[in-house]
Amino acid sequence: MKKENFYSIFFILASILIFFLFISPKRSSLSHLNSEISQKEVELQSSEEYFKKVRETFEELKNYQDEISKIDS
Protein backbone atom coordinates (compact mmCIF):
# COMPACT_ATOMS: atom_id res chain seq x y z
CA MET A 1 0.00 0.00 0.00
CA LYS A 2 1.33 3.39 -0.91
CA LYS A 3 2.15 5.90 1.74
CA GLU A 4 -0.35 8.44 0.30
CA ASN A 5 -3.18 5.91 0.47
CA PHE A 6 -2.36 5.17 4.08
CA TYR A 7 -2.49 8.86 4.99
CA SER A 8 -5.79 9.30 3.14
CA ILE A 9 -7.39 6.37 4.94
CA PHE A 10 -5.98 7.58 8.27
CA PHE A 11 -7.40 11.08 7.84
CA ILE A 12 -10.80 9.77 6.73
CA LEU A 13 -11.01 7.47 9.74
CA ALA A 14 -9.81 10.25 12.04
CA SER A 15 -12.49 12.56 10.64
CA ILE A 16 -15.19 9.97 11.25
CA LEU A 17 -13.91 9.41 14.78
CA ILE A 18 -13.89 13.14 15.51
CA PHE A 19 -17.45 13.41 14.21
CA PHE A 20 -18.74 10.68 16.48
CA LEU A 21 -16.79 11.84 19.52
CA PHE A 22 -17.46 15.57 19.39
CA ILE A 23 -20.19 16.55 16.94
CA SER A 24 -22.69 13.74 17.34
CA PRO A 25 -23.23 14.23 21.12
CA LYS A 26 -23.78 17.95 20.58
CA ARG A 27 -26.34 17.15 17.92
CA SER A 28 -28.28 14.83 20.21
CA SER A 29 -28.07 17.41 22.99
CA LEU A 30 -29.41 20.03 20.60
CA SER A 31 -32.35 17.84 19.63
CA HIS A 32 -33.09 17.26 23.32
CA LEU A 33 -33.06 21.01 23.94
CA ASN A 34 -35.37 21.56 20.97
CA SER A 35 -37.85 19.07 22.40
CA GLU A 36 -37.70 20.85 25.78
CA ILE A 37 -38.33 24.17 24.07
CA SER A 38 -41.36 22.73 22.30
CA GLN A 39 -42.69 21.39 25.58
CA LYS A 40 -42.21 24.75 27.32
CA GLU A 41 -43.97 26.53 24.44
CA VAL A 42 -46.97 24.23 24.87
CA GLU A 43 -46.98 24.90 28.63
CA LEU A 44 -46.77 28.63 28.03
CA GLN A 45 -49.63 28.52 25.55
CA SER A 46 -51.84 26.58 27.94
CA SER A 47 -51.00 29.03 30.76
CA GLU A 48 -51.88 31.96 28.52
CA GLU A 49 -55.22 30.34 27.64
CA TYR A 50 -55.93 29.69 31.32
CA PHE A 51 -55.25 33.28 32.36
CA LYS A 52 -57.26 34.57 29.42
CA LYS A 53 -60.24 32.55 30.66
CA VAL A 54 -59.68 33.81 34.20
CA ARG A 55 -59.70 37.42 32.97
CA GLU A 56 -62.88 36.79 30.96
CA THR A 57 -64.57 35.23 33.97
CA PHE A 58 -63.50 38.15 36.15
CA GLU A 59 -64.93 40.64 33.66
CA GLU A 60 -68.14 38.64 33.48
CA LEU A 61 -68.41 38.60 37.27
CA LYS A 62 -68.00 42.37 37.35
CA ASN A 63 -71.30 42.58 35.47
CA TYR A 64 -72.99 40.71 38.31
CA GLN A 65 -71.37 42.63 41.12
CA ASP A 66 -74.70 43.75 42.63
CA GLU A 67 -76.05 40.21 42.75
CA ILE A 68 -72.84 38.92 44.24
CA SER A 69 -72.86 41.60 46.94
CA LYS A 70 -76.38 40.47 47.93
CA ILE A 71 -75.10 36.94 48.33
CA ASP A 72 -72.23 38.14 50.51
CA SER A 73 -74.61 40.00 52.84
- The one-character DSSP state at 19 is I
- What's this model's pTM, rounded to 2 decimal places? 0.56
Q: Give the closest residue to 13 by CA, choosing from 25, 24, 21, 2.
A: 21
Q: Considering only 5-9, 22-26, 33-37, 41-45, which range has the smallest mean pLDDT?
A: 22-26
* pLDDT(1) > 70: no
Terminus-to-terminus CA distance in the chain, angstroms?
100
**Is residue 22 a contact partner of residue 29, using CB atoms and an 8 Å limit?**
no
